[in-house]
Structure 1
Amino acid sequence: MKPSVANYQAAMLLSAAGDALGYRNQLWEYCESGPQIHKELAELGGLKNIQVMLPDWPVSDDTVLHLGTAEALATGKEKEDLYQELAVRYVEAMKDMEGRKPGPTSILGTSQLRPGEPDGYRIPFNPKAVGCGAAMRSMCIGLRYPRPEQLKELIKVGVESGRMTHNHPTGFLGSLASALFVAYSVQRKPLIEWGSGLLETLPKVLEYVKEVGVDVEENVSAWPYFTEKWTWYLQERGILDGKGAPRFPSDYGPEERDKIYKTFSLDGWAGRSGHDAPMIAYDALLSAGESWEELCSRSMFHGGDSDSTGVIAGCCWGVMYGLSGVPEGNYNQLEYRERAEAAAVKLYELAWGQVQ
């Protein structure tokens, strides 16, 4: 089914809203207690009363870099020209980071880019580049290449854009996962099948990495963790085969989620890594259904990297459900709203033709 341009705009807007809500101007991204965040949310009058706007609710580095990806894709460039354009946009985006808390790996990676030079979008392999900085900015790749027959293109752009800062499989496979999940959202693929679909895609991604021939030995050596952790998670939920109903703990409130999300993580900081930012977003989507409030509770208001999980979950949810049931104040005065909506229209036109 062909999506509407409104769903594309909702994806970009709710992605930014999820970022701003999870970030709360640095206060909630660095809060280690989901119950504390929920308490403060109640004191603010609940989600319906939050007006996401400057100065109290800026977007973080996540949305600034996601807009960089979207606006590069919106040029319509392909292959090497697109990779160079992405590198230009990422370097430019780093000039807009006052008060947005970019991660050290993103700062290092963009400092190593040399846009305009041959292979200037490539940086050295980094054994520590396992963070979520690539996963949080790649969702729109799924809006640009949404069809099943475009999977090869999605893989290429997901990998190459991801390793411009996070040249390590745990990092850039997060980019691939976020892009793939948004493509699945557009395709209306049943949520239950997303995780198994990701696992089926990973061997194709490894084929691509070997084919390109850059840092192959290092990538192959570091490859297994992402697959193993996702396999473990899908077994925990009872959906490794993409069938049945997901199995959640009987008690799964904010306090329990904090503990369980930590078990997803690499280092105890939930959502901070390339594998678990999309994992928490997926977990939230599986359990929230059509409720925006429930999605926010699970993906944006937890003790962990809550803006990075929120930015991914919000994008997928927006594709599937539009703005239905979302309080207008959560998105109508968002920072960079016009840029997000304009990029969404361009991506829609490139993917589906002229807007009617």
Structure 2
Amino acid sequence: MDNTVPSSDLYVAAMLLSAAGDALGYRNQLWEYCKSGAQIHSELKELGGLQNITASLPDWPVSDDTVLHLATGESLATGKLDEELYQELARRYVAAMSDMEGRKPGPTSILGTSQLHPGKPGGYRIPFNPTATGCGAAMRAMCIGLRFPRPSDLQQLVAVSVESGKMTHNHPTGYLGSLASALFTALAVQRVPLEMWGLRLLEALPLAQDYIRSTGSDVECHLEVWEYFRESWERYLSERGLSQGSGHAVFPSQYGPAERDKEYARWCLDDWAGRSGHDAPMIAYDALLGAGDSWEELCSRSMFHGGDSDSTGVIAGSCWGALHGLSGVPEGNYSQLEYRDRLENVAKSLHKLAWPGH
């Protein structure tokens, strides 16, 4: 698969539809904080359905998710690597916090960026945080998979996703969500069958643990709480019949908005589905498995539910875009997005860096 070069259009779609998933799931705070997927679907119908939505300002801004995803992408687009890249990421994460009016950044992201000291030796590292289990690292990491998309890039993808995630969410449940989002996007680029993605994530976890050990920083603290993420994913894959990475996903016989709200709530850590590092990518993955090539179905499952719907939407949208491009997506859902130019520029820059000469 190393020799398969994806179109730059797929990269553009991955960035645009991540922001579309964010804006649609957020709905200027109205839907992110709605606890009923059935209510959201009812309100969507009143709006004339997905086809009738033009995701543009002032009613459909992007949230903190896209602002921080852009910070990640624009850092990667500099072409820097290793320590230089980590300092760049820290600098841009700190700077991004000045663009949070009305975007509802999470308290852990606020705390984490306040502890960063970009430019100083090791200034991109913050203390271990026993409560930093949220999805703030997962929601901004998809573009790491665009930058490091090949199987041969896996070690680099692991290192960058873990280090970038730790800059705010220095807890395995938090930063392993960053690994999941980055890896899933890379697997989409590689055209790995969806049914294999969960197993590939489990196979990458030992690499992430080895990387944590190599840092020599609070290693025992990380290892003490490591298993929750792995066990959560093993349980989910078992329920979907995908523990071996083959076959078809098994869903409940009744799986509409109300049933999905109950299912997603079973997976969550703190009574808000999709809010944590393990279940934001899990809900996005579940939606991808069930949606096929239907953008509308993807939105129904990943963006219009009674949980952290912008964070699950931003991940699902990016992966779906990398798989399917913009085909079948109502133009209004992405054509007038806030920061569209920046999103497209990042996508094209990452494509050039990941696939030089193409």
TM tier relative to shorter chain: over 0.9
In 1, Cα distance between the equivalents of 2:37 and 2:112? 31
| Structure-2 separation of matches of 1:335 and 1:210 | 40
- Code of the aligned partner of 1:343: V
Aligned to 2:304: 301
* Counterpart residue number, 1:193: 196
1:328 aligns with 2:325: no
- 1:235 aligns to what? 238
* Counterparts of 1:10 and 1:217, CA distance in 2: 40
Query: What does 1:241-320 correspond to in 2, within 5 Å?
Result: 241-320=244-323
What count of residue pairs does the alignment treat as equivalent?
Answer: 355
SS at match of 2:99: coil
Query: Residue 134 of structure 2 corresponds to which residue in structure 1?
Result: 131
Specify which of 95, 100, 108 is matched with residue 97 of structure 1.
100
Letter in 1 for 2:46: E
In the alignment, which residue of structure 1 is the partner of 2:14? Answer: 11
User: Per-residue displacement from partner, 1:214-245 (whole Å, max 9, x unpaired)?
Assistant: 11010000100000000000001010110111
Q: Distance in 2 between matches of 1:38 and 1:84?
A: 42
Partner of 1:342: 345
How much has 1:246 moved relative to structure 2? 0.6
Alignment of 1:101-250 (within 5 A): 101-250=104-253
CA distance in 1, matches of 2:354, 2:48: 40
Displacement of 1:82 after TM fit? 0.1
Please report how far the alpha carbon of residue 354 of structure 1 lies from its aligned counterpart in structure 2 after TM superposition.
4.3
Separation in structure 2 between the aligned mates of residue 203 and residue 175 of structure 1, nearest angstrom = 15
Distance 2:167 2:261 in 1: 31
- Tell me which amino acid in the other structure corresponds to 2:239: E
AA paired with 1:51? T
Which residue type is aligned with residue 335 of structure 1? E
Code of the residue aligned with 1:108 in structure 2: it is L
1-structure distance, mates of 2:260, 2:171: 28
After TM superposition, where is structure 1 displaced by more than 2 Å over at least 4 residues in a row? none
The alignment's TM-score, normalised by the length of structure 2, stands at: 0.99
For 1:52, give the aligned amino acid.
A
Amino acid at match of 1:307: D
Q: Match of 1:77, as an amino acid?
A: K
SS in 2 for 1:140: helix
Deviation at 1:213, TM superposition (A): 1.1
Cα 1:213–1:238 change in 2 (3 A) is: same
Distance in 2, Cα, partners of 1:60 & 1:323: 21
Identity %: 72
Report whether the alignment pairs 1:38 with 2:44.
no
> How many angstroms apart in 2 are the aligned matches of 1:40 and 1:252?
19
CA distance in 1: counterparts of 2:64 and 2:16, whole angstroms: 15
CA distance in 2, matches of 1:91, 1:208: 24
Cα separation, 2, equivalents of 1:304 and 1:233: 18
| Structure 2 counterpart of 1:190, one-letter code | P
The CA deviation at 1:204 is: 1.1
| Residue 353 (structure 1) shift | 1.6
- Superposed displacement of residue 136, structure 1: 0.1
Q: Deviations over 1:175-196 (max 9, x none)?
A: 0000000000000000000001
1:36-78 deviation line (CA, Å, top 9, x unaligned): 0000000000000000000000000000000000000000000
Where structure 1 has 5 or more consecutive residues not aligned to the other structure, the ranges are none
Structure 1 counterpart SS, 2:98? coil
Name the Cα RMSD after superposition.
0.5
The amino acid across from 1:157 in the alignment is: V
**Of 69, 72, 76, which aligns to 1:66?**
69
Query: Tell me, which stretches of 5 or more residues in structure 2 are unaligned?
Result: none
